[in-house]
Amino acid sequence: MPEIRVLIVDDDPLVRSALSHFVSRDPEVEVVGQAENGREAIAFLERDLPDVVMMDVQMPEMNGIEATTVIAKRWPDVRILAVTTLDGSETVLPMLSAGASGYMLKDSSAESILAGVREVHSGASSLSPRIASLLVSHVRSTAPASDAGALEKLTERETEVLQRLSQGMSNAEMAHSLIVSEGTVKAHLGRIMAKWHVRDRVQILVVAARAGLIDFR
């Protein structure tokens, strides 16, 4: 029985077919629909909710950034994986800031793309130090600052986890740095998400950046 239901959104039918073939190799993944632009994707979600949306960035009528913004607001439990040919900050970072939980390049291996779907679905997607730094800078320059006092206060250990997350560390790297188990790191991340009412690691960084709680000096 498939555990991860996927919607593929891309204006190129060949790309949609290839992505569908890649992820359908896993018996636990089911492609439940395809759309050629953001508008069609939203119409699909109004009828049926997938677990993960694989979203292209550049599309006619409604692009991936616009569609991601709408989906993240209306259906916060749906995870979005940006899948694009572009790896520049002008495309990937706005997608992440809009609500995507991760991103992949279209020329990635089938195994990497499938791993990306699974990571986004589980909320365990991670960002490289460079992308984490660029994401925080992007959020600070484009989004109005929020009041850190309005956020539920983190414990000392949760703050340590947040700072390491902002450095692009994986769960394993954070566990090694803090001399704790990966399970403990996941538990701390889960408590931060619950306190701040966010859904994944990327959104933790977005909220923390808006509140000025992390920097890269």
What phi, psi does 187 have (nearest 5°)? -65, -40
- What pLDDT is stored for residue 11 in this prediction? 95
Report the sign of the C-alpha dihedral through residues 213, 86, 78, 3, in that order: negative
Q: How far apart are CA 82 and CA 101, in angstroms?
A: 8
Looking at residues 147-162, what average pLDDT do you find?
A: 89
Higher pLDDT among residues 113 and 181, named by residue: 181
In this predicted structure, the answer to whether residue 217 has a pLDDT above a threshold of 50 is: no
In this predicted structure, the answer to whether residue 98 has a pLDDT above a threshold of 70 is: yes
Name the range with the highest mean pLDDT among 128-132, 175-179, 212-216: 175-179
In this predicted structure, the answer to whether residue 140 has a pLDDT above a threshold of 80 is: no
Pick the range with the lowest mean pLDDT from 23-32, 37-46, 200-209: 200-209
- Number of Cβ within 10 Å of residue 132's Cβ equals 23
In this predicted structure, the answer to whether residue 39 has a pLDDT above a threshold of 80 is: yes
In this predicted structure, the answer to whether residue 129 has a pLDDT above a threshold of 80 is: no
HEC assignment per residue over 178-195: HCCCHHHHHHHHHHHHHH
Looking at residues 166-170, what average pLDDT do you find?
A: 84
In this predicted structure, the answer to whether residue 211 has a pLDDT above a threshold of 80 is: yes
Pick the range with the lowest mean pLDDT from 11-15, 38-42, 131-135: 131-135
In this predicted structure, the answer to whether residue 152 has a pLDDT above a threshold of 80 is: yes
- What pLDDT is stored for residue 175 in this prediction? 94
Pick the range with the lowest mean pLDDT from 21-25, 61-65, 135-139: 135-139
In this predicted structure, the answer to whether residue 55 has a pLDDT above a threshold of 50 is: yes
Looking at residues 177-188, what average pLDDT do you find?
A: 94
Q: Which residues contact 214 (CB under 8 A, 6 or more apart)?
A: 136, 162, 163, 166, 205, 208
Q: Which residues contact 135 (CB under 8 A, 6 or more apart)?
A: 93, 96, 97, 127, 202, 205, 206, 209
- How high is the mean pLDDT of the chain? 88
The model's confidence at residue 142, banded by pLDDT at 50, 70 and 90, is: confident
In this predicted structure, the answer to whether residue 88 has a pLDDT above a threshold of 60 is: yes
* Cα Rg of the chain (Å, integer): 17
